[in-house]
Amino acid sequence: MSDRRTRPFRFSVQAFEADSGQQWTGVARRAEELGYSTLFTTDHYFGPGDISTTSGHRPVDVAPLTAITAAAMATTRLRVGCRVFCVDYHNPVVLAKELATLDMLSEGRVEVGLGAGWVAAEYEGLGLTMDRPGVRIERLAEVVEVLKAHWSGKPVDVQGTYVHASGFAGRPLPVQRPHPPIFIGGGAPRVLKLAGRLADIVSINFNNAAGKLGAGSVGSSTRDATVEKIGWIREGAGDRFDDIELEIAAYFVAISEDPTDALDAMARRFDVAPEVLSEHPHALIGSVPQVCDKLEQQRSELGVSYVNVAQRSMEALAPVVARLAGT
């Protein structure tokens, strides 16, 4: 068990963009140099077009497994992962073997992010059926069972409602034992209770039940809503709650002595009041000391010590990372 008020800060970068292999590995090396713990990709397959416009999610340049393998090989300390793999897009046995192989090749630097899927337009664009949330979340739980069974090295025999795997023992064994840390996030009760029960790292996120980003996403993640979400995690976790690392994404970042213009622009985009956005748990807006103070307060009051930022904010947040990472 650990005291959340003193759990060391970790910071991660979620990267979407790369025009070349050299640029991608440069992002990974730069993240490591700046003191970030982890480089995440994202498990989406659409470029510019209607899916991006409909969902509000920016296009993604790189495929996750190939990209994080390249990032791991280009660095020595940087952890790598996907925030998060949509279990509907992958055969769980294939995913388990790929991730175990990467954990072996990187000498134990993989974090395994898993999610139940949320971009409705992408499902349609990929020709996939998007089941109701309860089905997707139950499938997610069964995929976690397959991954853990595969990584145990013992014979796999999982006969779930949606996932079946048997007749073999998983190889290779991952370096991290008993398995690489499992990362699950979300913004609704059922998935967060599941995350509390099964995950090592839980991400407190927007409720994206609408299948797209917008004002409703922001409104679903106020401070009061975040406290409620932590309650759902605790309910699922029971006695293991204090062993879970809590993570949050800073979707709104403006590091400046006077961030007024940037704050106003972000508030207009999501149709919320600037004063609401400035205090939002997913916003890091203000000077470096102000942002450091906010993060330390959130760790003390909410227990959140793992912070994710988008690739576009990596350099801006670097002074905060330099002050807080590992403290």
| Span 288-305, pLDDT tens digits | 999 999 999 999 999 999
pLDDT number for residue 103: 98
With beta carbons less than 8 A apart as the criterion, state whether 112 and 90 touch. no
pLDDT tens-digit readout, 268-286: 887 888 888 888 899 999 9
Mean pLDDT, residues 193-208 taken together? 90
pLDDT number for residue 279: 85
What pTM does this model have?
0.92
- CA distances (Å), origin 109, targets 38, 39, 68, 151: 9, 10, 10, 15
**Domains of the chain from N-terminus onward:** 10-241+311-324 (3.20.20.30)
Mean pLDDT, residues 165-184 taken together? 97
Mean pLDDT, residues 88-105 taken together? 97
Averaged confidence pLDDT in the chain: 92
pLDDT number for residue 214: 56
Greater pLDDT, 205 or 78: 78
